[in-house]
Amino acid sequence: MSPLLNRKSKQQPPAQGEREREREREREREMYRCSNTVIGFLNLLTLLSSIPIIGGGLWMAKSKTSCESFLQTPLLIIGFVILTLSLAGFIGSCFYVAWVLWLYLAVMFLLIAALMALTVFGFIVTNRGGGVEVPGRVYKEYHLENCSPWLRKRLKDPRYWETIRTCILGSKTCAKIAYWTPFDYLQRDMSPIQSSCCKPPTACSYAVDATTLAQDPDCYRWNNAPNLLCYECDSCKAGVLETMRIDWRKLSILNIVMVILLICIYSVGCCAYQNTKRAQTDNPYGQNRMSKVRPRWDFYWWRWLDDRRHRLY
């Protein structure tokens, strides 16, 4: 059909089907607008949440407590990653910068994959562990050979264990049970660290006639000094690893929730990215964003043929 006939057909009133298609396109534009608004709002919230995380990391840098400085670097890394990612998503979705939004989605995809891998690794590592029941006691005791080999390997570095040991001393965990009576040891429960680091193993015997008996090596490592106790015992390391195992399990469950949330945000971000690309070539908001329209390759041929036909007739 010639371009002239096309122009005449466009002057006619639109058919019912054309109006339905226009309504459908308008609904799609509304959906795309909503996706950009949602992704911009979510990134604004995460951008604001990264500020106290970075502030907490900087505050820990001034602290002299080993437990707090131990968490300083991870907090700063997480805070700056969230800040950069949220800023990129906010700029890309609200200001229709397609390449920034593409970069945001690429990093988000890598983050989702990393969290999924970390979650699976966490469940594998924390599969082994757990305490041993002590007859006549409420608490449990822990043995290093029952822990995960990967976690045991982390404690071989003396500097790493010295940091944890200083943490336990600073938290005054053992001071909470220093004044327990023998009846308390029978009736009350203990945390893994209290059960392993603050007392010798229950099977130990310090009677005079028991010196020749074969006992757990931790029985000989025990010392009544408040700054020594059983901090160099294998059972103390097992108690620390058990605490890490419990916390890692909780973190893995939180990671699952975070992965589901990030997948939802990623899906909305994909819609926002499509909307941003359409905003550069289409007219979704009633404003023509195209600076130049390039005709199809056969437009000039059809116009030349149409002019020749009118001249002949």
If pLDDT is split at 50, 70 and 90, which confidence band does 2 have? very low
| Residue 7 in this model has a pLDDT that exceeds 80 | no
Note the pLDDT of residue 25.
65
Higher-confidence position of 230 and 311: 230
Note the pLDDT of residue 157.
80
Q: Which range has the worst mean pLDDT, 176-180, 248-252, 275-279?
A: 275-279
If pLDDT is split at 50, 70 and 90, which confidence band does 3 have? very low
- Evaluated on CA atoms 187, 193, 198, 199, the torsion sign reads positive
Note the pLDDT of residue 197.
93
Question: Helices (DSSP H) in 126-157: which residue ranges?
Answer: 149-154
Instruction: For residue range 85-110, list pLDDT tens digits in order.
Output: 888 888 887 777 788 888 988 988 99
Note the pLDDT of residue 234.
92
| Residue 163 in this model has a pLDDT that exceeds 80 | yes
| Residue 159 in this model has a pLDDT that exceeds 60 | yes
If pLDDT is split at 50, 70 and 90, which confidence band does 47 have? confident
Instruction: For residue range 135-151, list pLDDT tens digits in order.
Output: 889 999 999 888 888 88
Residue type, 199: K
Q: How many helices (H) and strands (E) does the chain have?
A: 12, 2
Q: Which range has the worst mean pLDDT, 205-209, 235-239, 275-279?
A: 275-279
> Which range has the top average pLDDT, 7-21, 220-234, 287-301?
220-234
If pLDDT is split at 50, 70 and 90, which confidence band does 80 have? confident
Q: Which range has the worst mean pLDDT, 21-25, 68-72, 224-228, 255-259?
A: 68-72
If pLDDT is split at 50, 70 and 90, which confidence band does 198 have? very high
Phi, psi of 133 (to 5 degrees): -65, 140
Share of the chain above pLDDT 70, in %: 76
HEC profile of the chain: CCHHHHHHHHHCCCCHHHHHHHHHHHHHHHHHHHHHHHHHHHHHHHHHHHHHHHHHHHHHHHCCCHHHHHCHHHHHHHHHHHHHHHHHHHHHHHCCCHHHHHHHHHHHHHHHHHHHHHHHHHHHHCCCCCCEECCCCCCEECCHHHCCHHHHHHCCCHHHHHHHHHHHHHHCCHHHHCCCCHHHHHHCCCCHHHHHHCCCCCCCCCCHHHCCCCCCHHHHHCCCCCCCCCCCCHHHHHHHHHHHHHHHHHHHHHHHHHHHHHHHHHHHHHHHHHHHHHHHHCCCCCCCCCCCCCCCCCHHHHHHHHHHHHHHC
The whole-chain average pLDDT of the chain stands at 78
Q: Report pTM.
A: 0.69
Q: Looking at residues 211-239, what average pLDDT do you find?
A: 87
